[in-house]
Amino acid sequence: MTDTLELAIALINRRSLTPDDAGCQALMCQRLARIGFSIETLRYGDVDNVWARRGSAAPLFAFAGHTDVVPTGPREQWSSDPFVAEVRDGYLYGRGAADMKGSLAAMVTATERFVATHPKHRGSIAFLITSDEEGPSINGTRKVVEHLEARGDKIDWCLVGEPSSLQVVGDVIKNGRRGSLNGLLTVHGVQGHIAYPQLSDNPVHRAAPALAELVSETWDHGNAFFPPTSFQISNIQAGTGADNVIPGALTVMFNFRFSSELTAEQLKSRTEAMLARHGLNYTLDWRLSGNPFLTRPGELVAAVTAAISEESGVTADLSTSGGTSDGRFIAPTGAQVVEVGPVNATIHKIDECVHASDLDRLSRIYQQTLTRLLG
């Protein structure tokens, strides 16, 4: 039972369903305070956040992560209590084992060892921890970054502990993410009896050609760092449930995952132009979850890549695939941002787990990164 595994177990045992931190941050801060970190608690709404920093000089390296977890799903389908961590056959089971309490434990123990060997390290180390990553992401990292920017605290390098790996710890480094733009489209018609369509206006029929065009559109071709922009309909609903009523409205929820070839405003404009060409009577509400960001090869990518090569024996691939992360709030400040974490095969699933030895390997990767940048 290593220090990293013990801490991961202690964190998993705290039932921190988003946005409840359930004492996870306090547990981490107790250990960080013992090695010289100043602790700043920042609560916005119902969200607990922490900014912990050791040192005051530049450059500033920050670990970023979240203590909140998603709901467990049907408890009876789990092999063991999701909030009572259990090690079986070399795997650590529990909600958050991979996403991302294992990473948080690895960050803390890596920093403890680094400070022990480099008590007078150059620059500063910080932890930006939230309990709002799995929720709306309004009162978490976004607000903390605004607070830091307002007083002039600038992060140079940021390592986010999201589970990035596919098969071996460190085989993938996320050095960026696509943008995410959500739309809620309501197409208005006229409800009526299905036997008298001339007295009604069916919004499903009206919208179908426009939706087909949106689905088949080539929005861009991507670039060297990002795949092509994708458009996906996630929900579509119309009707009263009766089989003899023409619906009065159709609602469609959709999402763009977009590359750096396009802006959110360009996507909005092109979408609205398509809808207008089809003569629809509609309303459309937009919600931007985040713009695309990219960290090109530089000091941070080089340090993390070398650390992974030394500890895992693999050459990491750089990738911008997958969903969004809190890196989208940190990168716009000018910070170099990467995501490195455990294997992501079971995240958000029943019986979420991570190989116990992977957490120790991850901790050593984090320590090596600190050594290369601040040692």
**Residues catalogued as catalytic:** 68, 133
Residue pair 307/349 in contact by the 8 Å Cβ criterion: no
Tokens of 133: 């990553």
Tokens of 135: 């929720």
Strand pairing report for 176-177 and 293-294? antiparallel
- What is the edge-to-edge ordering of all strands in the sheet holding 353-355? 86-88, 91-93, 353-355
Tokens of 240: 């009263």
Question: 143-148: long-range contacts (C-beta < 8 A, 24 or more apart)?
Answer: 143/42, 143/44, 143/47, 143/49, 144/42, 144/49, 144/51, 145/329, 145/330, 145/333, 147/42, 147/51, 148/51, 148/333
Instruction: Enumerate the H helices of 90-202 as residue ranges.
Output: 102-117, 141-150
Phi-psi label, residue 307: left if phi above 0, alpha if psi -120 to 50, beta otherwise = alpha
Query: How far is the C-alpha of 67 from the C-alpha of 18, rounded, in Å?
Result: 8
